[in-house]
Amino acid sequence: MAKAIKKQALGRGLSALLKDPENDIKSVNDKNADKVVGNIIELDIESIEINPFQPRSNFNEESLQELASSIKELGLIQPITVRKLDFNKYQLISGERRLRASKLVGLTTVPAYIRIANDNESLIMALVENIQRHDLDPIEIALSYQRLIDEIQLTQEQMSERVGKKRSTITNYLRLLKLDPIIQTGIRDGFISMGHGRAIINIENQDVQTDIYQKIVSQNLSVRETEALVKNYQNSLKPASAKAKKGDGFAIAEDQKKAITNFFGTKIDVKIAGNGKGKITIPFHSEEDFNRIIKLIKG
């Protein structure tokens, strides 16, 4: 308890230092900068503006209320991080949920880490910290990666090093942004998962994408079922010559399959290997049915 009181007192003391116009710190080289930068300081909430680079755009109200109740009971345990803009003026880098919840319970000050950073550094700090620590939905994460590419000109390899994720993982997120906007919204709202999205993205036609999306939602299809649906669609686009090249087996026409089915009076299954070999499976449902099929084979 004594340590906590001492820490809070130190924060209030540094807060007073920052409010002194004669000690306005604008760079890490300024006097007393070492006492401020990286330290926890009690800041007036009114002096903190929301970070325009914040990737999170959806805040669950129920979760926010739970956090507010915790802050009311225990105080703000984890400080927010801010960037000093001007005299007694700061911009949020990370911790918007904590700041919002603190406002809900009527706090006038919050503990904050002070950093001095340019806009690019602020953007990187905000995006990287949120990607790593917060429960962003897959589209928000993808948009964060895209902003690092567009605004900071980071390569996927550089992003991989910054956020500690495999390059392939980053690529998979970025590919989601090629989905139809309706499907992106469906992922954000939790109607389908990222796995569903990764399966749909293999189809270029966005009208077909949305048709499959509607089937996933209406029929509650799993990711595996979605992958099979996509594969069947892609196979349907292949010309007959591509399906059955010489030396790669042959295709059996539906009317041929139907003729065999009608002959035996039961739905048969035909499988053909790439070398042209295959098998016909004739199911039966009883001993009587088995004897009936044998008679048909014997003629």
Q: Which helix (H) or strand (E) holds 232?
A: helix 223-237
Rg (CA), the chain: 31
Question: What separation in angstroms does the CA of 41 have from each of 70, 106, 112?
Answer: 21, 18, 5
Q: Is-catalytic flag, 96?
A: yes
d(CA 114, CA 91): 10
Look at the block and give the residue holding tokens 């669950």: 60
Within 8 A by CB and 6+ apart from 92, the residues are 48, 49, 50, 51, 54, 80, 81, 82, 83, 99
Amino acid letter, 299? G
Question: What's the rounded Cα separation, in Å, for the pair 90 and 83?
Answer: 6
Catalytic member of 61, 62, 66, 96: 96
d(CA 200, CA 219): 15
**Token reading at 71:** 């802050």
**Which segments of 153-222 does DSSP mark as H helices, in order?**
156-163, 167-175, 181-188, 194-200, 206-219
Instruction: Identify the helix (H) or strand (E) that includes residue 50.
Output: none
CA atoms in the 13 A half-sphere facing the CB of 218: 6
Residue type, 26: K
Cβ-contact 36, 14 below 8 angstroms: yes
Catalytic residues: 96
